[in-house]
Chain A
């Protein structure tokens, strides 16, 4: 057990990676719960792929400086998030259609830019699948600051965001600015994705957003419980995935994503089994008597 759990903690890069992955998992779970409940799980994937042109331009402008790449990626993600929000509003298209258009358009743009610089293709793998073990002290501070911003903004607009996610018509009747709140949700998602870039990568970040939230929503009855349980599942998956990555020498992002999926499947199976089991008190099924 000591060999398995304690020894890796002797390496600073492992400790940094653990801290990074727990913070990122918490942020992804927070924004992911809103996304799943709005039926917009794949907006995370669309936003993640929209980072590619930002990273490509950042690379062309400033080389492989992580700081610059992060800011370029973040800027692109926020612009894309606001663009998607405007697309839905101005052109009266559905949110999933907006996601589809932005997803393919931005990713294609990124690939076109990348194809002009042949050497960049190799470096892109780090962004596609993440490399949490290379997180530096500076990266860690940046991740902490961005995650803190996400948590504070959600805390400030918590009740309004929950209402807009649940009942947009009632929110409009209360004169809440639904557009602003929706755009804010998109921007927070973009920030979470940008900060998750190094941890789990563009291709897999959606797993960290969706799987813990989807698992939590099966077992809780209240929104804030869903957020807390999703964050716990995400952090647990991140830590376990990281240990698996360390001991088995497999890609860290993929290991974390796989653990997320396994936890989701286990919770789904347990939930199904518990619901199917006959209840002595007769609480197994809802009684819809008026």
Chain B
């Protein structure tokens, strides 16, 4: 069963995502302010910014799970409420991991909107679910209870669920948090293997990952920069986004930028954990 490279049901040439002056917040507190951006199908975008910059809020608004206070979001030119092609993987999803479900059960949940009310999954849906698991290499874990999965396996399970959903936009909020170096590499490889069949937006503190992704949205409540990493991840803009929370480190004759949130978890700079540094031009 082929689940990639399918014909998009949407009008060709239309931007997948149009965000116009969107502001949103919680209980009167503004989390994002006048954010505007366009995302085209097949693009990969790293959303970067300090803690509290509004990355998660932006994703929730785009996913349609949080209503913006102002502005407008359009998916392929129409209201997001009409689309089921957006997959949102929350940061540290507040889920009951003791829930009685196997990996296959969770991936199959991606088919629910496609199948519709009052219907059960058919053989074709099951084949799509199997193909989605195969594509992110979690088929051997299909019968495993979700409580038995590691952090990296959970992320891959959710990516498989998005593939089963036939999502055209996949948003991952801090997917690398809590992963060891191997799991981090494996997840990056999984995302890389998706090619341009799925548009990916990924919130991260890791400037190295952002640079590898290529296109960056740098924000701190407002959108400070949006474009190729080489143009956005420059000292002035990083300083504007991170303020005094950005450290500059000289090593190997180069200057590196390191968001200070790296030290929030007591990890010594440059010693352990995924590298979040980026060489400054």
Q: How large is the interface on A (under 10, 10 to 19, 20 to 34, 35 or more residues)?
A: 20 to 34
Q: Which residues of A contact B127 (CB under 8 A)?
A: none
Q: Which residues of B contact A166 (CB under 8 A)?
A: 95-96, 99, 101, 106, 109
- With contacts A174-B165, A175-B113 taken as known, whether A290 is within 8 angstroms of B64 at the C-beta atoms is no
Q: B63 near A173 (CB under 8 angstroms)?
A: yes
Q: A169 near B147 (CB under 8 angstroms)?
A: no
Q: A286 near B147 (CB under 8 angstroms)?
A: yes
Q: Which residues of A contact B121 (CB under 8 A)?
A: 159
- Please tell me which stretch of A17-25, A77-85, A134-142, A214-222 contacts chain B, meaning at least 4 of its Cβ atoms lie within 8 angstroms of it: A214-222
Interface presence of B275 (CB below 8 A) = no
- With contacts A157-B117, A286-B147 taken as known, whether A175 is within 8 angstroms of B64 at the C-beta atoms is yes
Q: A159 near B65 (CB under 8 angstroms)?
A: no
Of A37, A156, A160, A174, which is in contact with the most chain B CB atoms at under 10 Å from its CB?
A174
- Please tell me which stretch of B1-9, B38-46, B148-156, B238-246 contacts chain A, meaning at least 4 of its Cβ atoms lie within 8 angstroms of it: B148-156
- Closest residue of chain B to A166 (Cβ to Cβ) is B99
Q: Which residues of A contact B117 (CB under 8 A)?
A: 156-157, 160
Q: A170 near B182 (CB under 8 angstroms)?
A: no
- Please tell me which stretch of B80-88, B193-201, B211-219 contacts chain A, meaning at least 4 of its Cβ atoms lie within 8 angstroms of it: B80-88
B residues near A (Cβ < 8 Å) are: 63-65, 81, 83-84, 86-88, 90, 93, 95-96, 98-102, 105-106, 109, 112-113, 115, 117-118, 120-121, 145, 147-153, 161, 165, 179-180, 182-183, 186
A residues near B (Cβ < 8 Å) are: 37, 39, 156-157, 159-160, 162-163, 165-167, 169-170, 172-176, 217, 220-223, 225-226, 286-290
Can you give 17 A-B contacts (C-beta < 8 A)?
Answer: A157-B117, A159-B120, A162-B109, A163-B109, A167-B93, A167-B95, A169-B88, A170-B88, A170-B109, A173-B65, A173-B87, A174-B113, A175-B83, A176-B113, A217-B98, A223-B105, A290-B182
